[in-house]
Structure formats: C-alpha cells, structure tokens
Amino acid sequence: MKFKVENLRTRKQEEVIYITDTVADFISVSGLKEGLCVVYCPHTTAGLTINEAADPSVASDILMELGRRIPFQDGYAHGEGNSAAHIKASLMGPGVTIPVRNGALQLGTWQGIYFCEFDGPRNRSFSISLLSDIE
Amino acid sequence: MKFKVENLRTRKQEEVIYITDTVADFISVSGLKEGLCVVYCPHTTAGLTINEAADPSVASDILMELGRRIPFQDGYAHGEGNSAAHIKASLMGPGVTIPVRNGALQLGTWQGIYFCEFDGPRNRSFSISLLSDIE
Amino acid sequence: MKFKVENLRTRKQEEVIYITDTVADFISVSGLKEGLCVVYCPHTTAGLTINEAADPSVASDILMELGRRIPFQDGYAHGEGNSAAHIKASLMGPGVTIPVRNGALQLGTWQGIYFCEFDGPRNRSFSISLLSDIE
C-alpha cells in the first residue's frame, strides 16, 4: 500500500484547509491507476470533509453554522475546554474514501477535500493511503 | 476495480432515495465475492447515508430534523442561497464503505443505502466501486 | 478478506463503548501487515465514531450535545419513538476506515474507536474487515 503522512500548520482556532492538490500529487507520484484513496485525520479535534472548492464562503458557512449549533461553552464535562471541537470532529468524521480511476481522483466537478481545524492553531497531519486493485 | 456510475433524477428540493438494489445488482453482475463496496456521491449539495429501509418515515424524519437545525436562511456568506444544503451534505458525508462477503453486501437487516438530495430537483449521479481481495 | 463479527451487549439507552482493542486484536491474529481496516455497524439506531480515548468525558459530552440538538420527542413521523436514535446514527455514520501499516492501526495518539448506542440496551454487533494490498 502506498502511504504518506503530510504535515500542516493551522493558523486559526477554526479553519478549513484545501488539501486536494496534495492528495492528487501523491497519486501522480505513486503511479496508482485503479483503486481507493483513503485520506485519514489522526486528531480528535480536527476532521476531514468534502465540499465545494469554487467558493471559499461555503467552507466558512460550514464553520459558522457548526459553531452556532455546537457552542464552545455548553456545560461540558471534559476539562480542557475544547469539547465543541471534539464533537465537530465526530460530525465531520476522521476520513474520506475516494475512488481512483485512470490515475485520477474521482471527485465531482465542484468537490474539494478539506482538513477541518476545530481547535487550532496547531501542528497537524493527515495520511494518504492508496490501495490498488489487481483486476 | 469494478466501477460504475449511476444516474438519477431527483424530483424535490429535499428527498431521500433508496439505492440499495442498484448497488446490490452491480455486485451480482460484477461477480465480486469478497471485498469492499464504496458508494460515492460526487456532489456538494447531496450526500449518502445508511439508515432504516422498512419505514420511509425514518428518512423523512432525518430530513425534517436536519432542516430544523440547519435553516435554509441563516445569514450565510455563500451567495447561491444553498448553504444549508452544503452543510447537510458534509454532515451526512459523501460516501459509504460496506463489506461484501459471499457476493452479498453485509448490510444489517434493517439497513438501506440512501442518496440524500438537499438542493434539487436536479440530475444527479453516484458511483459504485468494488475492490476485491486476493485472500 | 479477513472478516469477523463481534457481538456486544449495551447496558443503557445511550452509551459509547470503546472497541479499539477488539479491532487491534483481530489485526494481530489475522497477520495483516499493510492494508485497510473497515469497522462497520449493521444497525440503524447505533453508529461508529473515532474520538478521544484518554478522557471518557469527551464521549459523554458527545452524547449530551447530540441529545440537546436532536430531542427524543420532536414531532417525528416514525412510530417507534426512536427517530432521534436513527438521526444520530446517520450523523455519526455506520463505519470507519483506518489504514494499517506494519501490522498496526494508524490511529492518532489520542484516538479510540467507539461503538455509539443510541437506542439500547440491546444485543448489538459490528464487523471488522481487513483488506490487504499486494504492493
């Protein structure tokens, strides 16, 4: 399995970072033609999502609305003060699985892959796994 | 990798469409016995989920409750007026990964796969990827 | 494909159960070195998530906050009285896909895999699928 860890530095408490090109570049370098691409986030206060890449206000609307529904302070038991970030991470999920055909990610026209920071700024990472198929 | 794109036409602004049979039929035709089935939605205002197939009111309750929590108008920045649909797409997610054993999807008794339209009616599609295992 | 079904008994109406060790043990027994691990929940009122394993209050905060946003009674159409559980299952999702390298799950330092019961107590199960890669 082709596998790579990518590091990134987030700059704000909450931020959505476009990582599609990083993922696509690894597929090109790896030579994978047919298979699955799994992008995985190893953090518990960050997650991954796929959404519109053309207008960055879509990503900011996602952060705004998640923030309205999951307040930073809400009588949480966890003592570190970042329970909202943990909850948002579970709502977005820790990973996405995308088909690869003819060496290309099968994303839709408007789709981009986003790293979702909910408790930054921090040094973060994500992994890219490429699983080939024999047939 | 066995791969197929299925087209569908949604008829309402919001709608949940049962696609389990379409996925199961492709597995039958493909001859896959052991592996993974990835169903993927290439849109940014639609998603996929797995939930109860026996009573269609479960799907309508999901749409109703998502609509109450994520209002159509809420001071969003994105100018197209469909930010709620983008947010709901990220909450449901763009894909599901289901094991296949002995040629059959390993869904639970009550589970069905659903295409979730949040900004229709539109012409939509989803893909089915089947990854075999050698062992 | 290495595949196993694990049974568990939940004890409360809502509960988050740590299953990381069960998954890791199956990887050890299977001998898988490189590939993907898919943990899948076949129920429609339970789901799976990955979040902090160090402090159990994170899991209880997730349950608390989901409960505040998705009330048990909210004019739902589904007659069994457990629509909130169905909705929460779709929000968490039915499965997680985690890379395996050198025989080890590539979870982050603080991550654990959790079975999320939203309509217990019940007898439940989840499956573990291990897909190897030839390269």
When pLDDT is averaged across residues C82-106 and rounded to a whole number, the result is: 98
pLDDT band at C66 (very low <50, low <70, confident <90, very high): very high
Annotation: CATH topology of C2-131: Jelly Rolls (2.60.120)
Which chain C residue has the Cα nearest residue B47? C90
Cross-strand bridge partners of residue C18: C114
Sheet of A111-117: strand order equals A15-18, A111-117, A46-52
Judge whether A95 and A38 are in contact, CB under 8 Å. yes
Give me A72's structure tokens: 């930073």
How do residues A74-86 score in pLDDT, each as one tens digit?
A: 999 998 999 999 9
Which chain B residue has the Cα nearest residue A116? B90
Q: Work out the end-to-end distance of chain B between its first and last CA atoms, rounded to an integer number of angstroms.
A: 16
C-alpha–C-alpha distance, residues A52 and A58, integer Å: 7
Nearest chain C Cα distance for residue B51, angstroms: 5
C-alpha–C-alpha distance, residues C81 and C78, integer Å: 7
Question: Is A103's Cβ below 8 Å from some Cβ in B?
Answer: no
CB contact under 8 A, B58 and C78: yes
Q: What is the DSSP string of B102-131?
A: TTEE---TTEEEEEEESS-S-EEEEEEEEE
Pairing relationship of beta strands C46-52 and C95-101 according to DSSP bridges: unpaired
How do residues B96-109 score in pLDDT, each as one tens digit?
A: 999 999 999 999 99
| Cα distances (Å, whole numbers) of residue A39 to A3, A19, A30, C62 | 10, 10, 15, 24
Per-residue pLDDT at C89: 98
Question: Is C50's Cβ below 8 Å from some Cβ in B?
Answer: no
pLDDT band at C133 (very low <50, low <70, confident <90, very high): confident
When pLDDT is averaged across residues C93-115 and rounded to a whole number, the result is: 97
Judge whether B27 and B37 are in contact, CB under 8 Å. yes
Give me A79's structure tokens: 């003592």
- Residue ranges of chain B with pLDDT lower than 70? 134-135
How do residues A14-56 score in pLDDT, each as one tens digit?
A: 999 999 999 999 999 999 999 999 999 999 999 999 999 999 9
Question: Is A86's Cβ below 8 Å from some Cβ in C?
Answer: yes
Q: What is the DSSP string of B38-59?
A: EEE---SSEEEEEEESS-HHHH
Cis omega (within 30 of 0) for bond into B121:
yes
Of B55, B101, B111, the CB nearest to C78: B55
Per-residue pLDDT at A135: 55
Count other C-beta atoms under 10 Å from residue C7's C-beta: 8
What's the DSSP call for residue B101?
A: E
Per-residue pLDDT at C9: 98
C-alpha–C-alpha distance, residues C115 and C15, integer Å: 8
Of A60, A68, A96, the CB nearest to B94: A96
Contacts of C99 in chain B (CB under 8 A): none
For chain C, the average pLDDT equals 96
CB contact under 8 A, A36 and B69: no
Domain residue ranges of chain A, discontinuous segments joined by +: 2-131
Of A51, A66, A133, the CB nearest to B132: A133
E-only strand ranges, A10-68? 15-18, 35-40, 46-52
> Looking at the predicted structure, is the pLDDT value of residue C134 above 70?
no
Judge whether B74 and B84 are in contact, CB under 8 Å. yes
Stretch (H or E) spanning A8 = strand A2-9
Contacts of B1 in chain C (CB under 8 A): none
Backbone region of residue B44 per phi and psi (left: phi > 0; alpha: psi in -120 to 50; beta: other values): alpha
Nearest chain C Cα distance for residue B97, angstroms: 7
CB pairs under 8 A between B and C: 100
Nearest chain C Cα distance for residue B17, angstroms: 15
Question: Is B104's Cβ below 8 Å from some Cβ in C?
Answer: no
Question: Is B130's Cβ below 8 Å from some Cβ in C?
Answer: no
How do residues A92-134 score in pLDDT, each as one tens digit?
A: 999 999 999 999 999 999 999 999 999 999 999 999 999 998 6
> Looking at the predicted structure, is the pLDDT value of residue C120 above 90?
yes
CB contact under 8 A, C38 and B36: yes
Question: Is B20's Cβ below 8 Å from some Cβ in A?
Answer: no
CB contact under 8 A, B36 and A35: no
How do residues C29-57 score in pLDDT, each as one tens digit?
A: 999 999 999 999 999 999 999 999 999 99
CB contact under 8 A, C38 and B135: no
Per-residue pLDDT at A133: 85
CB contact under 8 A, C61 and A78: yes
Per-residue pLDDT at B25: 98
Count other C-beta atoms under 10 Å from residue B126's C-beta: 26
Question: Is C40's Cβ below 8 Å from some Cβ in B?
Answer: yes
Per-residue pLDDT at B135: 55
When pLDDT is averaged across residues A84-92 and rounded to a whole number, the result is: 98
Which residues have a Cβ under 8 Å from the Cβ of A112 and sit 6 or more positions away?
A18, A20, A50, A51, A52, A53
Per-residue pLDDT at A134: 66
Per-residue pLDDT at B133: 85
When pLDDT is averaged across residues A59-70 and rounded to a whole number, the result is: 96
